[in-house]
Chains A and B, each alone.
Chain A
Amino acid sequence: MGEHIMTSTTDSGAISLTPELKSKKGVSPIWILPLIAIIIAAWLVYRSIVNAGIDVTITFKNAQGIEAGKTQVIYRGMPIGLVKKLEINKDFQSVDVLVQFVKEAKDQLKKDTAFWKVAPEISTRGITGLETLLKGNYITMMPGEGEETDHFEALSEPPPFRSDTPGLHIRAFTEDLGALKAGSGIYYKGIKVGEIIQTLLNDKTDVVLDLFIQEKYSDLVKKTTKFFNISGIAFEGGLSGFSLKAESLESLLLGGISFLTPEHESKTQNAKDDDTFRLYKDRNRAEQEGQKFTVYFNDGKGLTDKTQIKYRGVEVGRAFSVELDEKTDGVRLQVTMQQQYRQFLRDDTQFWVVRPELGLAETRNLDTLFSGAYLTFRPGKGKPGRTFKGLSNPPGEVATRDGLHVVLVSERLGSLKSGDPVYFRQVKVGEVTDCRLSEDATSTLIGVDIQKKYAPIVRTTSKFWKASGLNVDFSLFTGAKIKTESMAALLEGGIAFATPGSPDVEEKKEAKSKGVVVDGSKNSEKKKVEPKIGTQVLGSPVKNGATFELYSEPQEEWLKWRPKIALGKGN
């Protein structure tokens, strides 16, 4: 390549001062760069327009935990919006939260759409929103209907009703809601199968509960299903043991209800939406729903609205209300009797209350100390009845006893009372069933029931005396002798009797002294042998209602009678 030197001269025509740069044709490829940049920028702009969120204002009464740029709106676990800005309302009563939603949410932002804040909450309703402890509070929503709008009022707590969930929607009525709340669970055999959607007070002062049963469990609810409250702890105790029942911790804290379908009705139709049920106070009430009847008492001591009705020790029903009755100036006890026992309710059925009795000698019905007094009855044979007059004391047990009933006549009653034992050779063979004045009030009549087995012992010649108290025999030579029946008789009183006769009356006509004597020494008995007085002939058996005189103390002779009598059969 040869060299070509251009020199600068003052001759402007000969020398070109302009650079000899060759201008290239076309555009430099470097311009692709800004082009690409513009494309990227355009794409970004386009995307931001297409994905432009929807700005919506949600007014919260309290925006605690909501942070601009952090708090999300999460629906079914997916973030669909982000809080952009928080502004206090002009009246300083609420906070406007500006939320930008993804554009897909547009169709859901209708007038009835509900928003609420999810925060960790540990309360009686349970522990909720635990995930927000780590992630922070969030806002969630429930789509609703209506016109589109961009301003919402947030709910202060989650809406109760999730109408979109498939399942069984039924209602229950109850008088008292107790610890139940919207959100309380419905349990079946301890499994949560649904929940209380909402609770309303209807105009009839009943509480109406909207219940929701999950679809897969809806078959469990029949037309005849009974719902009952299982809130809290059920405590039942008695001498036979204590039981403490709580359905689940959740139901303990939150309250809950459960249900059962009586076995004989389990084949009935399934419940349908909007069926109504009664909500019982507890399981027992639901189980024992049956014939209702009323018993009037003079005194309601020991009666509660949980008082049981027992017959022969078996619970057959339960009271559900006890209140004062103005008409009879007493207490009205309303009771339900289980269906299968309703035939006991006859108009001559007698009811009385069994209360604990503590005595020096005898303590009875101790179980009622713990389980409370209970109601019992003696079934009648009349027409079916629904209203009864309760007895203050157990009735004379004439009719219920199939033993021998005899009447003793005494001048005074002494310390005898109904229920006192009747002894024969210190063996209890019967009971005083009732004590009353004779018609002309000249004496007292004491009804005595001798057990069937021992009935043959009572003969026309039998002698009855009061075994109550002490018989003190004091003499200079023999010293003091204190005679009494058994210790129980000493303390509590009772009646003893003896029947004349000897083991082999015909042959020996000899009496063997074997009294019912407690004097501290068996030997002393021998000394008291006395000449026989010829009354040792075994009398004939007596019939029901036979009357005897009741002596205040036995004669020595009676105590030596030893008849030989075959006992009757029986218990």
Chain B
Amino acid sequence: MVDRPLTAKDAGFLPCLVCHKLSVIQDDDGVQQRCSRCGAKLHARKPDSIARTWALLLTSFIMLFPAYLLPIMTVTSFGHRYPSTIMEGIEHFIQDGTYFIGFLIFFASILVPVFKLLGITLILLSIQRNWKTSLRQKAVMLRIIRFIGRWSMLDIFVIAIMVALVNLGSLTTIEAAPAATFFAMVVVLTMLAATSFDTRHLWENTL
């Protein structure tokens, strides 16, 4: 006897993730069931959700290192190249006394990506390890992660605008450096990871 509410799956239904219509699970093996209303493919859970999330997450983790260690932007001023990593940039702003911008960049490009990665890792682990505590908070966290994901691109936007604006020939030019690519990939991959995760796994086998 299971002491938990009946789920759609338990009841033999498949919800359509697009139009939310419940369909009865059919038992024909090998045939992909589609939503009778909108035609979307029906899955009880997002297919390979956890594995995909893990894969994207790991990729993000790996990409995080070059993103932080390599220079993200190169300022060429009077023939001299000043490449700087994200941390150096933040340091520069803090030393300059522009704490707000320094903190903003620190928040957007260091805190948020790391928080997202760790958060998703925590959620994945809690599913696999069957940690059933603070599920509601984890859900809130996931929502936050999904919401702020896009803001991590702030860095990339800043660089893009700087490169376009500061192009004074031999006086000063700004170029994007390799870390920009890696950083963008980290952001995109974490967003994908966050969306590819099927939230319902969190409550699987819970009350």
- A residues with a Cβ closer than 8 A to B are 1-8, 10, 12, 17, 19-22, 24, 28, 30-31, 33-34, 36-38, 40-41, 44, 69-70, 134-136
Contacts and interface: CB of A to CB of B under 8 A. Distances in A.
B11 A8 contact: yes
Contact of B56 (A19, A30, A69): A30
12 contacts: A5-B24, A6-B12, A17-B2, A17-B10, A22-B29, A30-B51, A33-B59, A37-B58, A40-B63, A41-B63, A41-B65, A134-B78
B53 to A, nearest CB: 9
B79 A135 contact: yes
B44 A33 contact: no
A4 B25 contact: yes
B168 interface: no
Contacts of A28: 48, 51-52, 55
B1 interface: yes
A12 B1 contact: yes
Contact of B59 (A5, A19, A37): A37
Contacts of A36: 59
A33 B55 contact: yes
Q: Which 6 A-B pairs have the closest CB atoms?
A: A37-B62, A3-B24, A6-B12, A34-B58, A37-B59, A134-B78
Q: Is the interface of A mostly helix, strand, loop or mixed?
A: loop
A30 B25 contact: no
B78 A34 contact: no
A30 B52 contact: yes
B37 interface: no
Q: Is the interface of B mostly helix, strand, loop or mixed?
A: loop
Interface of B: 1-2, 6, 9-12, 24-29, 31, 33, 44-45, 47-48, 51-52, 55-56, 58-59, 62-63, 65-66, 70, 78-80, 82, 189, 204
Contacts of B66: 40-41, 44
Contacts of A20: 9, 25, 44
Given A1-B31, A28-B48, A34-B56, 11 more contacts: A5-B12, A5-B24, A12-B1, A17-B10, A19-B9, A19-B204, A28-B52, A30-B52, A33-B189, A37-B63, A136-B80
Given A17-B10, A30-B52, A41-B62, A134 B79 contact: yes
Contact of B62 (A4, A38, A135, A136): A38
B102 to A, nearest CB: 19
Nearest to B171: A134
B48 A30 contact: yes
A465 B128 CA distance: 146
Contacts of B12: 4-7
Nearest to B57: A34
Nearest to B2: A17
Nearest to A69: B82
A334 B66 CA distance: 81
